[in-house]
């Protein structure tokens, strides 16, 4: 199972009736910078290795910008604009205009001001960064990611059964990342991962970690996540939920 996530922000005002239990909200008219996290999931990736191109979320970003940003949300929604109502509004938009047309991708979560994994609670995680270049083959002419370009990547490994991986595991992980990823052209350094999309890199790192790390008894790697940019990530894990 693959999941990808992207974060968006918009600034807006709202007022909710005093009777509505809206935590963190003062009574009366006020405003927020809303941070929206969208998580999409698919059992399989499609060429070049995407759940769906992050660019497919651009119309959603435009909608946030044109319809919700710098507005009074009471004028936009047809019910009091609580966080729950805003969440429902955003879900309906995403289901209708993004998810349904694919017939393949599902909307896993929409969060407001909660960019981390929804519904899974705190998990032990180890993060490592690397600086790398790549290009993605098979994209439409003019797609910026078809050009050779680079990112400051973050790779995160989630595991359970222990709160901290043993030093030997961390050394092995750091060693692999620094040899095959950091300072590399990923198309050449990890060709067996497939086109180096975030999804394919996350799957490759998950499988590498499961195979190569000597984990203590009862400890398992539960997921690997790769971020190319500050606002996006892709994650791979073997179990479905
Ligand atoms: N599902 C995926 N979509 C895209 C991936 C990917 O790995 N998985 N990768 C790319 C490109 O590598 C690109 O460099 C990153 O694109 P994007 O997230 O759109 O990055 P930006 O920060 O440039 O996006 P803006 O939101 O427009 O600033 C493309 N898609």
Ligand 1 neighbours by CB, cut-off 6 Å: 4, 50-55, 136, 145, 149, 197-199, 228-229, 232, 234
Q: How far apart are CA 82 and CA 80, in angstroms?
A: 6
Please give the pLDDT value at position 119.
Answer: 40
Confidence grade of residue 120 (pLDDT, cut at 50, 70, 90): very low
Q: Could you confirm whether domain 2-112 is CATH 3.30.479.10?
A: yes
Closest residue to atom 9 of ligand 1, CA basis: 197
Looking at the CA of residue 55, tell me the nearest atom of ligand 1: 19
Please give the pLDDT value at position 100.
Answer: 96
Please report the DSSP string for 18-50 in residue order: TTS--TT--SSSEEEEEEEEEEEEESS-BTTTB
Is the pLDDT score of 223 beyond 80? yes
Region of 45 (left: φ > 0; alpha: ψ -120 to 50; beta: rest) is beta
Measure Cα distances from 119 to 12, 51, 52, 232, 235 in Å. 26, 21, 23, 19, 15
Domain with CATH 3.30.479.10 in the chain: 2-112, 124-236
Which ipTM score applies to this complex?
0.92
| Nearest residue to 210 via CA among 240, 180, 176 | 176
- Both structure tokens of 16: 């909710």
Distance 165 CA to ligand 1 centre (A): 31
Q: Could you confirm whether domain 124-236 is CATH 3.30.479.10?
A: yes
Please give the pLDDT value at position 240.
Answer: 54
Distance 148 CA to ligand 1 centre (A): 13
pTM of the entire predicted model: 0.83
In tens, the pLDDT along 144-163 reads 889 999 988 999 999 988 77
State mean pLDDT over 85-110: 96
Q: Which of 15-29, 120-134, 184-198 reaches the highest mean pLDDT?
A: 184-198
């Amino acid at each position: 199972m693959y999941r990808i996530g992207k974060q968006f922000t918009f600034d807006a005002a709202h007022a909710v009736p005093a009777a509505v239990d809206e935590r963190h909200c003062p009574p009366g008219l006020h405003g927020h910078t809303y941070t929206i996290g969208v998580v999409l999931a698919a059992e399989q990736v499609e060429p070049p290795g995407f759940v769906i191109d992050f660019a497919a979320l651009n119309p959603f970003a435009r909608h946030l910008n044109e319809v919700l940003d710098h507005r009074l949300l009471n004028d936009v929604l047809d019910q009091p604009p609580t966080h729950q109502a805003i969440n429902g509004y955003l879900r309906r938009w995403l289901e209708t205009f993004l998810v349904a047309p694919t017939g393949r991708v599902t909307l896993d979560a929409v969060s407001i001001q909660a960019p981390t994994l929804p519904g899974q609670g705190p998990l032990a995680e180890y993060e490592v960064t690397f600086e790398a270049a790549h290009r993605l083959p098979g994209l439409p002419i003019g797609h910026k990611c078809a050009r050779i370009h680079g990112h400051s990547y973050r790779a995160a490994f989630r595991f359970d059964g222990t709160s901290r991986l043993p030093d030997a595991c961390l050394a092995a992980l750091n060693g692999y990342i620094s040899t095959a990823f950091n300072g590399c052209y990923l198309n050449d350094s990890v060709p067996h991962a497939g086109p180096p999309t975030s999804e394919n890199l996350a799957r490759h790192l998950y499988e590498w970690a499961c195979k190569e790390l000597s984990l203590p008894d009862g400890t398992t790697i539960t997921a690997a996540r790769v971020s190319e940019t500050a606002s996006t990530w892709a994650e791979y894990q073997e179990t479905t939920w």
